[in-house]
Amino acid sequence: MARVAMAMSGGVDSSVAAALLKEQGHEVIGLHMKLYHGPENESRQKSCCSLDEAIDARSACHRLDIPFYVLDYQKEFRETVIDYFINEYSNGQTPNPCVMCNKKIKSDLLLKKVDELDCEFLATGHYARVYNNPENGRPQLARPQDLRKDQTYFLHGIPADELPRLMFPLAEIIKPEVRKIAGKLNLSAAKKPDSQEICFVPKDYRTFLKQEMKTAPVPGEFISLSGDVLGEHAGLPFYTIGQRRGLGLSDTTPYYVVKIDKDKNRIVLGKEDDLYSPAIQVSGVNWVSIQAPEKPIRVSAKLRYAHHGAAATVFPEPGNQVRVEFDSPERSVTPGQAAVFYQDDILLGGGRIENSP
């Protein structure tokens, strides 16, 4: 059996994951990351960053009789996740803070702490799986048993050489069973709601940006695809591709945000048909489960967490970039989000969506 560091968020998933590891005979050490507690350490449900979560994580470790440590990563979280979130919106992009957090905080920083504690593995409560390819013995990142809770999209940035050190104890379990196990163990998180996607944004992200941005967003022009001025926008950070509501404009058919032009501080509006893209450019691609391909490959491309996945061909390009051509044009492709590539249940890799060519 191994010595395993378990990332304890305070939620039901990580609590049960820790219990399963201990039941299997592993030596488990609970690690809770103090990331962001908001104004005056506010108490918020559905947030993995709230003070309540730290208390629940400690309670779970006490219940399971495993050591518990708190790691203060507030400075690093501010610099690598929150500042990134604000800067991306300021530049007319739509960020994905959960991807950045898993890559920079939960992978990079946490694995260094795992080494310091002489642990062989880092375990998390993510719904994902490490699959060892029988043909070449290579570890691959794969979807879990519970496809409705699949979180592999957020994990695509994990370096391939770190994958063998990761454990996902919930890989073979569906969420209702996780809650049942938590109930049997009398864990305080048994009936706790799932955490929200952006843990440090309590309500509307626009309100958060107004509070956090050092300089106020500058209003600019709404223009049509032909260049006609249609009205005035409130500032680039408050809009995203595909947005329909809150534009303050009316026509016989709705307007949508189809492009954000940072250089000219303009937002281009179009109709629904204008939202579709036949291809995209993706930068900073991390190939977590395979070697970087040298020839075009067929994939299912997932363009956001809730996306169904689109049949596409990935064309490798220099500079760790790829061009993705869809079999059918895709709606509301959003620069700043992640494009993640799958073949069946295996997550091959993924990167950052740039402006559509």
Return the SS3 of 182: helix
CA 329/CA 38 separation, integer angstroms: 40
Query: Largest alpha-carbon pair distance within the chain?
Result: 68
CA 35/CA 38 separation, integer angstroms: 9
Q: Which two tokens stand for residue 197?
A: 């996607």
Place of tokens 């739509």: 94
What is the CA 189 to chain-centroid distance, rounded? 22
Q: Which of 49, 98, 101, 119 is catalytic?
A: 101
Burial class (CB in 10 A: 0-12, 13-18, 19+), 311: exposed
CA 256/CA 269 separation, integer angstroms: 5
Tell me if residue 48 is catalytic. Answer: no
Contacts with 341 (C-beta within 8 Å, 6 or more apart), sequence order: 297, 299, 300, 301, 302, 314, 347, 348, 349, 350
Torsion angle, CA of 207/211/214/219, rounded to 10 degrees?
30
Q: Which two tokens stand for residue 280?
A: 């995209």
Tell me if residue 101 is catalytic. Answer: yes
CA 258/CA 270 separation, integer angstroms: 6
Inter-residue contact 130 to 163 (CB < 8 Å)? yes
CA 193/CA 17 separation, integer angstroms: 17
Q: Residue 230 is inside which H or E element, if any? A: strand 229-233
CA 218/CA 346 separation, integer angstroms: 43
Torsion angle, CA of 37/43/46/52, rounded to 10 degrees?
80
Q: Which of 49, 61, 119, 199 is catalytic?
A: 199
| Residues taking part in catalysis | 101, 199
